[in-house]
Amino acid sequence: MSLDSPPPRTVRSFVRRQGRITVAQERALAELWPRFGVEASAGRLDLDALYERQAPRVLEIGFGDGGNLAALAEAHPENDYLGIEVHRPGVGRLLLQVGEKGLTNVRVMCTDAVEVLTAQIPDQALDAVLLFFPDPWHKTRHHKRRIVQPAFAELVRRKLKIGGCFHMATDWENYAAHMLDVMRSAPGFRNLSATGDFVPRPDYRVLTKFERRGHRLGHGVWDLMFTREA
């Protein structure tokens, strides 16, 4: 095993579900994946070659249906966006939006984000990492499966440029507290919250239908933003 190869993972933060995929999503996967899809491999990505330019780079982990990532890519054509999602229907949905909006600054991967960060993303290559509504693994015995752990925070730190931002959001208060505890203890990060805990939802994070429904039901949402200082 090479030094760049990730160690075998015994605990994963996701369960891969096939889910229902529509005809349109299948068509988008067939037609657009060759142009915008990136295969998992053991080698480092040449991001300048991948996007055919130099630009600020933003990674979104677990982008769901791709609504937030597509909106960001459309609003900020000066940035490049890489989305990683393990569920094919979500990947198909994002590719549909890429095609409909004529986006050229998006690339997509359908694999484990931790393995991609470890093996394929160069150090200090990213201007931002977005992690919105990851699986909360709410049962105590499953907390070890939460993606936000000290080792993951250190991995993200290495991949961010100095001054880069790690933005998280969750609708589980217990997970929000867990994220805050992990990030407060993570070396090389500074909390961007004026109160030392959570930040208001930035305008750039798309308010999803799921989140709107949660607001109507009185559910809370917690955003955390930490910048890499060292």
Write out pLDDT tens, residues 172-185. Answer: 999 999 999 999 99
CA distances from 89 to 18, 31, 43 (A): 8, 15, 26
Give the whole-angstrom CA distance, residue 72 versus residue 79. Answer: 9
pTM: 0.90
Q: What CATH number has the domain bearing residue 67?
A: 3.40.50.150
Question: Does residue 31 sit within a domain?
Answer: yes
| Half-sphere exposure in the Cβ direction for 89 (13 Å, CA) | 10
Closest CA to 85 of 35, 134, 45: 134
Terminal Cα distance for the chain, rounded? 29
pLDDT of res. 42: 82
Handedness of CA 189, 59, 109, 158 (dihedral sign): negative
Question: Does residue 15 sit within a domain?
Answer: no
Residue reference for tokens 């239908």: 209
Which region holds residue 133: left if phi is over 0, alpha if psi is between -120 and 50, else beta? left
Question: Does residue 129 sit within a domain?
Answer: yes
CA distances from 56 to 24, 30, 69, 77, 83 (A): 31, 28, 15, 10, 14
Question: Does residue 13 sit within a domain?
Answer: no
Beta-ladder partners of 167: 130, 225
- The residues annotated with a catalytic role in the active site are 135
Question: Does residue 110 sit within a domain?
Answer: yes
Q: Is the pLDDT assigned to residue 193 strictly greater than 90?
A: yes
How sure is the predictor about 4, in pLDDT bands with cuts at 50, 70 and 90? very low
Give the whole-angstrom CA distance, residue 156 versus residue 154. Answer: 5
Q: Is the pLDDT assigned to residue 16 strictly greater than 70?
A: no
Beta pairing, strands 80-84 & 106-109: parallel
Question: Does residue 105 sit within a domain?
Answer: yes
| Residue 54 lies in domain | 23-228
Write out pLDDT tens, residues 138-180. Answer: 787 858 989 999 999 999 999 999 999 999 999 999 999 999 9
Question: Does residue 17 sit within a domain?
Answer: no
Total domains present in the chain: 1
Burial, 192: exposed, middle or buried (Cβ in 10 Å; 0-12, 13-18, 19+)?
Answer: middle
Closest CA to 188 of 128, 228, 129: 228
